[in-house]
Every structure is written in structure tokens, then in C-alpha cells.
């Protein structure tokens, strides 16, 4: 049992929840969330990180030894149409977290994204490649990175990619939901990436904190790419998910991103090079196929539990009335 105290922002989000579950009880975890979250098992305070004074007070009152900043506005299409909110939640909030962390000399782990690249490169994206985000979400994440590079006393930036998990909106969930009502679905076939389970990212953070704490506490900022290994296009990923869930009868039709007409453009190539995090930090995640196959039954269990809870609550309400 280590006594290291870690504060997680966005503690009720997809990655934040898995981090809390993976890191406790070995680490002393405290979370910050914008609103009450029923599924959280770690203690947390309500704090809107867009408010500088409240964020400072929350962080200084807990005085964590390290901060994992996962909170962000992650709905890429919403960000495209709500620039001010995206700036507040992805840039200003990050500034507030970094400023408070600097006051207490706490290193910060920040999560960025493959969407900081334009996806036009042939081959994998290295940490040092030129940033050129296509979407407003990607632009705000780049601005967050820039603030950290210029101002953080100690920080690590992990660019992660195509995240899926139990506790948030993600591609496998949306495919399985569509499969409930549609015998055929259209899925884009011109974007390639590495689907990455938030649970595996959380396990990697635990490994980092247990074995490479010195890198985290080093002055300055370092950037790493992290993800499950292997690559796939969304349409083939959908087929894999359907097969894994025993729903092969549901057909997937390839379409182009242009046909989907989403508000925010996405990079064609989202494949991040994983060599540096493997060499410097010893972090190597399993393949996306293995991760997805372990994830699917857990998702099914969780969805069934949520449905049962909703039914029980409805019955209780009916009895009361």
C-alpha cells in the first residue's frame, strides 16, 4: 500500500472512472466531477473546472501529490458547433488545473488525442510530428497541450486514441445499440485507427505510477502516444464488434466520411506510433482485438445491470404512487 494521493479530474467519465477503480485502493484517490455521478466508487467533490477560484480551492484543499486531468468536453461534433464552451472546458479548465498544480508542485498527467493531427501522413504519427487539427475539438486539445508545454512545472501528455469503455459514449456501445433495431447499418470506411480500452489506459497509468514515478516527477513536460496495438477501419471494427457479440446477421455497409456528413471533420489516419511509450516507459498495451473481446461481455453485464436498476426504480415509483 502506497500512500501517494492522486486527484483525478473528470472522475466520473469513461477514463476517469476506470482510473479510480484501477488505482484504488493502492493509491489514495480523490475525484473532481462537475455533477453527482451514481456509479463512482471513489470519494469525489463537485467542482466545475471552468471556475478558476473553485478549481484552485479544490486542488489546494486536497493537496494531492499528483493530478490526472481527464476532464474535457469530448463530444467532437458538439465542440464544432459550440466553440466558447469547448474553449472553456478544454482550454480554460486545463489552465486552471495546471496553475493550481504548479502552486503545490504536483505533476500532472494530461490526456490529449490523435485529433491534433490532420491524418494526412502516410504511416504512424510520432510524438514530434507537426500538429494540424481539423476539428475545433482537436484545436482545443492542442491549445491545452501548448499551455502545458509552456507553463506546467512537471507534466506528462498522453495522446490516446479511439477510446472505448463502460462509462461513456463510445463506438462499440453505439454499434450494439443500433444493432437492436437495424438489420443493416452504414459505417465509415475511410478512417483508420487503434481502438483503445480506457481500462487498459488506466492499467498503464498504474504501471507508470508504480515503476516510472521518476519520469512523472521530472521537471518539464514530455509527450507520449498510447493505445492498444493493431489498426482497423471503423467499418471493420463494427463487424468485429457484431461478431464478438454474436450478431453477425447484422450487416455493415461501407460508406465514406463525406456521406456521413458529421459537423466535425476527422483525420483519415489516426494511427499513433507507440514505440516511445514502450521504450521510455515500458508501456505496451495488448491488441485492440483482445481488449474488445474482453470488454464486450463486461459491457453486456453493465448494460443489463443498468436496465435492471431502472426497472426496479420504475416499479418502486409505481408502488409509491
Site residues for ligand NAP per CB under 6 A: 10, 12-16, 33-35, 48-50, 70-74, 89, 93, 111, 113, 141, 160-163, 168
Q: Which residue is nearest to ligand NAP (CB)?
A: 13
Q: The cell 484543499 sits on which residue? A: 61
Instruction: Given the residues 125, 137, 147, 237, select the one marked as catalytic.
Output: 137
Q: Cα separation of 254 and 256, whole Å?
A: 7
Nearer to ligand NAP, 161 or 311 (CB): 161
- Name which of 117, 54, 38 is nearest 309 in CA terms: 38
Residue 82 beta carbon to ligand NAP: minimum distance, rounded to whole angstroms: 12
Q: Cα separation of 95 and 87, whole Å?
A: 11
Nearer to ligand NAP, 160 or 232 (CB): 160
Residue 140 beta carbon to ligand NAP: minimum distance, rounded to whole angstroms: 9
Strands, E, within 21-170: which ranges?
28-33, 44-46, 66-69, 108-113, 154-160, 163-164
Nearer to ligand NAP, 28 or 114 (CB): 114
Give the other-Cβ count within 10 Å of 89's Cβ: 22
Nearer to ligand NAP, 214 or 274 (CB): 274
Residue 143 beta carbon to ligand NAP: minimum distance, rounded to whole angstroms: 12
Q: Cα separation of 224 and 156, whole Å?
A: 8
Residue 320 beta carbon to ligand NAP: minimum distance, rounded to whole angstroms: 29
Handedness of CA 257, 262, 268, 269 (dihedral sign): negative
| Active site annotation includes 147 | no
Q: The cell 463530444 sits on which residue? A: 75
Q: The cell 498510447 sits on which residue? A: 226
Point out the residues that are catalytic: 137
Amino acid at each position: 500500500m502506497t500512500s501517494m494521493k492522486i486527484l483525478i479530474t473528470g472522475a466520473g467519465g469513461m477514463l476517469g472512472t476506470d482510473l479510480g477503480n484501477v488505482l484504488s485502493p493502492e493509491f489514495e484517490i480523490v475525484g473532481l466531477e462537475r455533477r453527482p455521478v451514481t456509479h463512482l466508487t471513489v470519494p469525489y467533490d463537485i467542482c466545475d473546472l471552468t471556475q478558476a477560484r473553485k478549481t484552485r480551492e479544490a486542488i489546494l484543499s486536497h493537496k494531492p501529490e499528483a493530478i490526472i486531468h481527464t476532464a474535457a468536453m469530448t463530444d467532437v461534433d458538439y465542440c464544432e458547433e459550440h466553440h466558447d464552451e469547448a474553449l472553456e472546458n478544454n482550454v480554460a479548465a486545463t489552465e486552471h488545473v495546471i496553475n493550481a498544480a504548479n502552486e503545490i508542485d504536483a505533476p500532472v498527467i494530461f490526456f490529449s488525442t490523435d485529433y491534433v493531427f490532420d491524418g494526412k501522413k502516410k504511416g504512424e504519427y510520432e510524438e514530434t510530428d507537426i500538429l494540424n487539427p481539423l476539428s475545433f475539438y482537436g484545436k482545443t486539445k492542442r491549445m491545452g497541450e501548448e499551455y502545458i508545454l509552456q507553463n506546467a512545472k512537471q507534466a506528462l501528455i498522453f495522446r490516446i486514441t479511439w477510446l472505448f469503455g463502460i462509462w461513456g459514449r463510445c463506438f462499440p456501445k453505439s454499434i450494439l445499440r443500433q444493432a437492436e433495431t437495424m438489420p443493416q447499418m452504414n459505417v465509415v470506411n475511410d478512417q483508420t485507427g487503434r481502438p483503445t480500452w480506457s481500462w487498459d489506459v488506466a492499467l498503464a497509468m498504474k504501471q507508470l505510477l508504480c515503476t516510472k514515478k521518476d519520469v512523472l516527477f521530472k521537471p518539464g513536460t514530455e509527450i507520449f502516444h498510447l493505445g492498444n496495438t493493431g489498426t482497423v477501419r471503423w467499418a471493420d471494427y463494427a463487424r468485429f464488434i457484431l461478431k464478438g457479440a454474436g450478431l453477425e446477421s447484422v450487416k455493415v455497409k461501407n460508406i465514406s466520411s463525406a456521406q456521413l456528413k458529421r459537423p466535425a471533420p476527422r483525420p483519415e489516419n489516426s494511427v499513433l506510433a507507440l514505440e516511445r511509450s514502450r521504450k521510455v516507459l515500458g508501456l505496451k498495451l495488448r491488441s485492440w482485438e483482445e481488449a474488445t473481446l474482453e470488454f464486450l461481455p463486461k459491457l453486456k453485464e453493465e448494460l443489463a445491470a443498468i436496465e435492471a436498476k431502472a426497472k426496479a426504480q420504475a416499479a418502486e415509483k409505481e408502488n409509491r404512487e
